[in-house]
Structure 1
Amino acid sequence: MLGLAVGSFLNVVIWRVPRGESVVHPPSACPRCSHPIRSKDNVPVMSWLLLRGRCRDCEAPISWRYPLVELTTGIVFALIALLGPDWTTPLYLYGAAIAIALTLIDIDVHRLPDRIVLPSYPVVLVLLVLASWGADDWPAMLRAVIGGAALLLAYFLMVLAYPAGMGLGDVKLAGIIGAYLAWAGWGQFAVGAFAAFILGGAYSVGLLLARKANRKSGVPFGPWMIAGALLGLLCGTSLWSAYTGLFT
């Protein structure tokens, strides 16, 4: 239920933040008829189904992406809760929420807004301290700080070397992703950091082969950074052990 509610709010964030609008005022309204959405029509997923995907007042179609974001956030929150609950749960719930919002915003406008990324630094820092305290694992906190700084620096150097290949939004997001991955472990950090480039590169090659892009086409990299981080968190330990096992 929390995930569904957060997903409903993320829909507002995804639409308004790239446009520089407030996420709290004015209340949500139909973009065609401007009629404010009634409370009974603002229930995640269910309202969209009951309205058959249309505005109650003007019958303008409502994108299927709204209930999909709500449902996805609900499912992801439920899966995270199944892993706990413990002191890491708030850390991963927050990470999941901003990951969903940033992925869709980057796909839509090819930007990772500072209004989401920069405030996430102090929030993630506090949640990392809470998780480290709860797990009594302060070396993990030190790894997170080193990993976040290292990945931030690596992306910054890549931008300096080839400014056209990456945006500053990717650089800023790298620090947060690096902290998450390193807190989990150095194996997760290594796999998650490199997986972003492997996944993003494979997608770009696929677009070139399908002739849906050329070498000068811009491809949002934020979603692949997030996908790589997810792969690192879920499979980093086993993949890194398999890789290092090749040399032992």
Structure 2
Amino acid sequence: MSQLPLLVVVALLGLAVGSFLNVVIYRVPRNESLIHPRSHCPACGTEVRNKHNVPVFGWLLLRGRCAACEAPISPRYPLVEAGTAVLFVAVAARFGLSWELPAYLYLAAISVALAVIDLDVMRLPDKIVLPSYAVALVLIAPAVIAERSFSTAGRALLAAVVLYVGYFILAAMPRGMGGGDLKLAPLLGFYLGWLGWSSVAIGAFAAFLLGGLVAAVLMLLRRANRKSRIPFGPYMLAGAFLAVFAGAPIAQWYASLLVPTV
């Protein structure tokens, strides 16, 4: 499959997955079933018709309002769907039609859900994070076998341990990391470790850099203070994807600063 058809297929897949992620984002923090009942309006309980359940276009067709009671529907729904599609396309462009692609598409999907949930309720649900370890191992296994990437897999596992130890130390400090961040760190370490140690370093550093910058802006705008709780999961995930997409050029740029060329 050439690049363009792959990107189109992945974009459509991302829209469909994004629609499901909206269900995950709403129901998982409330401990509700992902299967029953069917998608419905939170205001009046009316089931969403199939034609209105088409990602992005359903919301546009309804003009952002329930077909039954005309209660407003948050624009976050189409944004999650479109954002997932864009992230899927970016991942597909990064990895191409490779053995690793399904594993990183899965990471993209759970990253969208976890980031939004953490922003909503300041929690990274175990129901998403913990099963993702098994899923990651299963999805990366074909790459290990087909490419005989045993040393790469070993590095990924070691990187998971390294990030866990680092976050464990931070969690033990006063006002340290939350339990959800601690559980997420090894998973991101595994994915970044597969790409290389420079990706691990960049992903970990970028998380704190991005989180610190946002916290500083919020304090300048008086939207937060030194005692405010700020969800860190979104910055961990953003830092990880920065490393996925730009880890190599960032590492080369940094190396050039340390050893300038003549």
Superposed pair shares fold, TM > 0.5: yes
Normalised to the residue count of structure 1, the TM-score between the two structures is 0.95
How far the C-alpha of 1:240 sits from its partner, in A, is 2.0
Partner Cα separation in structure 2 for residue 33 and residue 25 of structure 1:
17
1:22 is aligned to 2:33: yes
Deviations 1:103-159 (CA, angstroms, capped at 9, x unpaired): 000000000000000000110111222222333322110111000111012101111
1:52 — aligned with what?
63
Deviations 1:3-34 (CA, angstroms, capped at 9, x unpaired): 11100000000000011111111111111111
Which segments of 5 or more consecutive residues in structure 1 lack a partner in the other structure?
Answer: none
How far the C-alpha of 1:36 sits from its partner, in A, is 1.1
Q: CA contact under 8 A between 2:19 and 2:77: conserved in structure 1?
A: yes
Partner Cα separation in structure 2 for residue 67 and residue 215 of structure 1:
34
Deviations 1:59-112 (CA, angstroms, capped at 9, x unpaired): 111111101111111222223233411111101110000000000000000000
SS in structure 1 opposite 2:64?
coil
Partner Cα separation in structure 1 for residue 250 and residue 52 of structure 2:
45
1:37 — aligned with what?
48
1:211 is aligned to 2:222: yes
SS in structure 1 opposite 2:99?
coil
Normalised to the residue count of structure 2, the TM-score between the two structures is 0.90
How far the C-alpha of 1:245 sits from its partner, in A, is 3.7
How far the C-alpha of 1:183 sits from its partner, in A, is 0.5
Partner Cα separation in structure 1 for residue 67 and residue 117 of structure 2:
27
Partner Cα separation in structure 1 for residue 257 and residue 64 of structure 2:
53
Q: Which amino acid aligns with 1:174?
A: A
Q: CA contact under 8 A between 1:91 and 1:131: conserved in structure 2?
A: no
1:233 is aligned to 2:244: yes
Partner Cα separation in structure 2 for residue 13 and residue 62 of structure 1:
17
- Counterpart of 1:8 (choices 19, 23, 29) is 19
Partner Cα separation in structure 2 for residue 191 and residue 139 of structure 1:
21
Q: Which amino acid aligns with 2:197?
A: W
2:84 — aligned with what?
73
Q: Which amino acid aligns with 1:93?
A: L
2:120 — aligned with what?
108
Q: Which amino acid aligns with 2:214?
A: Y
- Counterpart of 1:167 (choices 168, 174, 178) is 178
SS in structure 2 opposite 1:165?
coil
Q: Which amino acid aligns with 2:182?
A: V
Partner Cα separation in structure 2 for residue 80 and residue 96 of structure 1:
8
- Counterpart of 1:145 (choices 117, 135, 157) is 157
Q: How many residues align?
A: 247
Partner Cα separation in structure 2 for residue 161 and residue 155 of structure 1:
10
Aligned-CA RMSD value: 1.3
2:103 — aligned with what?
91
Q: CA contact under 8 A between 1:14 and 1:104: conserved in structure 2?
A: yes
Q: CA contact under 8 A between 2:206 and 2:239: conserved in structure 1?
A: yes
Partner Cα separation in structure 2 for residue 20 and residue 135 of structure 1:
40
Which stretches of structure 1, 4 residues or longer, exceed 3 Å deviation after superposition?
244-248
Partner Cα separation in structure 1 for residue 13 and residue 253 of structure 2:
37
1:157 — aligned with what?
169
Deviations 1:219-243 (CA, angstroms, capped at 9, x unpaired): 0000000111111112222222332
Q: CA contact under 8 A between 2:99 and 2:140: conserved in structure 1?
A: no
Q: Which amino acid aligns with 1:24?
A: I
1:190 — aligned with what?
201
